[in-house]
């Protein structure tokens, strides 16, 4: 028991370290691309290349972890992050950055596809709470890293952020490589990708569809925030350090709501948490497009972080409600695939429309969030009076 707890704590520390690294480079990457002469379209394409790899490898990396072990794959993903950091250090043009994003997309889809399974196996019956704590460690690392990254770019230049990312990635790989626990290979039926059983019949199928649509739309807003937003506010005259502060507010919102949203949805219902979350994201996205005041941008970033931090884990919980444990990994992998497709659409389409008006991507996100709000309302009325369908 105590060995499992120690291993779980080691995973948390590894997540904190690698989140710190990626948080450091988040404000730096689009600004570095812009310094090399990238247009909005090309900045958007950075997210496109990342997303393509994410989509292709998300399910495959989960399958690989069933075969060779969770620890092997998650350690390899951290090494890939370090390799990507090295490539950033030697890159000198926009085209080379596209290739780096391909490597980084492969690293992070492997990380996310395996982390949930790894934490779940180590935590046993405490899986929900453990994933919440894991989200907090990731959010704290990303928040601190974003602010630190902005400071490093302002004071020492882009290379300093890439060097720190390199060091932190290999530190995280060393931590993951020393995780010691049983059950690291997953469950026996993990290789069966077809014949997925959906609990609750038609209601369960609707829940899955709702979750996948939410994943797609939430990822569009997320990729716009982490890819296009730094360039958008730089054009408004905001210094790199304060860009990091704004992204820090975004992640602060994640941290505040990630742990509690799942528990609230257990008590009040998934849809009763999703509806206000999506409504807040709708309003905040529109405000992002309407204002250039720093204080308002800070508040809006905080609200968007809160909304995403609430909606994402509850959308995942919807899948957990309606899939058996023997097939849940595959369905979670599909959730990540839809997330990757949304990132692809958001980065490509967002970058293209930003060339015409830099505010338009946020209007697009607002419209999508409004549509999702109505979709969840429809889902709520669909299941009303059928409270016994969940098993």
* pLDDT at residue 304 in the model: 94
Number of domains in the chain: 1
- Asked which of 4-8, 55-59, 229-233, 275-279 is least confident by mean pLDDT, the reply is 4-8
Q: What is the pTM of this model?
A: 0.74
Domain encompassing residue 251: 2-180+198-383
Question: Are 278 and 307 in contact, with CB atoms under 8 Å apart?
Answer: yes
Higher pLDDT pick, 289 / 125: 289
Query: Percent of the chain beyond pLDDT 70?
Result: 85
**Mean pLDDT over all residues of the chain?**
82
pLDDT at 169 over 90: yes
The CATH number given to whatever domain includes residue 325 is 1.20.1250.20
Mean pLDDT of 216-228: 89
Cα(267)–Cα(245) distance, integer angstroms: 34
Higher pLDDT pick, 122 / 383: 122
* pLDDT at residue 355 in the model: 84
Mean pLDDT of 159-177: 95
Q: Is position 151 within any domain?
A: yes
pLDDT at 194 over 50: no
Q: Is position 357 within any domain?
A: yes
Q: Is position 389 within any domain?
A: no
* pLDDT at residue 1 in the model: 45
Q: Is position 216 within any domain?
A: yes
Q: Is position 192 within any domain?
A: no
Record the tokens describing residue 238, joined without a space: 């905001």
* pLDDT at residue 188 in the model: 35
Mean pLDDT of 80-107: 92
Q: Is position 193 within any domain?
A: no
Q: Is position 144 within any domain?
A: yes
**pLDDT confidence of 232, banded at 50, 70, 90?**
confident
Q: Is position 186 within any domain?
A: no
């Amino acid at each position: 028991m105590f060995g499992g707890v120690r291993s779980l704590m080691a995973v948390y520390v590894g997540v904190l370290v690698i989140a710190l690294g990626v948080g450091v480079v988040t404000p730096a990457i689009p600004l570095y691309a812009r310094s090399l002469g990238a247009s909005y379209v090309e900045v958007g394409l950075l997210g496109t290349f990342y997303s393509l790899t994410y989509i292709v490898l998300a399910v495959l990396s989960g399958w690989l972890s069933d075969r060779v072990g969770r620890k092997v794959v998650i350690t390899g993903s951290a090494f890939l992050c370090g390799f990507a950091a090295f490539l950033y250090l030697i890159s000198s043009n926009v085209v080379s950055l596209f290739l780096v994003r391909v490597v980084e997309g492969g690293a992070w889809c492997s990380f996310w596809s395996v982390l949930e399974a790894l934490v779940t196996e180590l935590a046993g019956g405490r899986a929900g709470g453990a994933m919440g704590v894991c989200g907090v460690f990731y959010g704290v690392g990303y928040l601190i890293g974003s602010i630190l990254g902005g400071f490093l770019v302002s004071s020492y230049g882009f290379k300093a952020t890439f060097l720190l990312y390199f060091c932190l990635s290999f530190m995280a790989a060393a931590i993951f490589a020393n995780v010691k626990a049983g059950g690291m290979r997953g469950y026996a039926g993990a290789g069966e990708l077809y014949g997925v059983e959906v609990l609750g019949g038609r209601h369960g199928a609707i829940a899955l569809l709702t979750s996948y649509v939410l994943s797609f739309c939430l990822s569009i807003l997320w990729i716009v925030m982490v890819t296009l937003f730094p360039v958008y506010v730089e054009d408004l005259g905001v210094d790199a350090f304060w860009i990091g502060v704004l992204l820090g507010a975004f992640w602060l919102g994640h941290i505040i709501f990630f742990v509690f949203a799942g528990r609230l949805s257990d008590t009040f219902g998934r849809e009763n948490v999703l509806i206000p979350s999506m409504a807040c994201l709708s309003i905040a996205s529109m405000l992002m497009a309407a204002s250039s005041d720093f204080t308002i941008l800070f508040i809006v970033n905080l609200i968007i972080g809160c909304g995403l931090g609430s909606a994402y884990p509850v959308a995942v919980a919807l899948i957990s409600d309606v899939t058996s444990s023997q097939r849940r990994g595959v369905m979670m992998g599909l959730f990540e695939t839809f997330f990757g497709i949304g990132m692809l659409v958001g980065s490509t389409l967002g970058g293209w429309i930003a060339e015409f008006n830099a505010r338009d991507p946020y209007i697009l996100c607002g419209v999508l969030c409004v549509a999702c709000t109505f979709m969840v309302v429809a889902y709520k009325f669909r299941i009303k009076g059928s409270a016994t369908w969940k098993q």
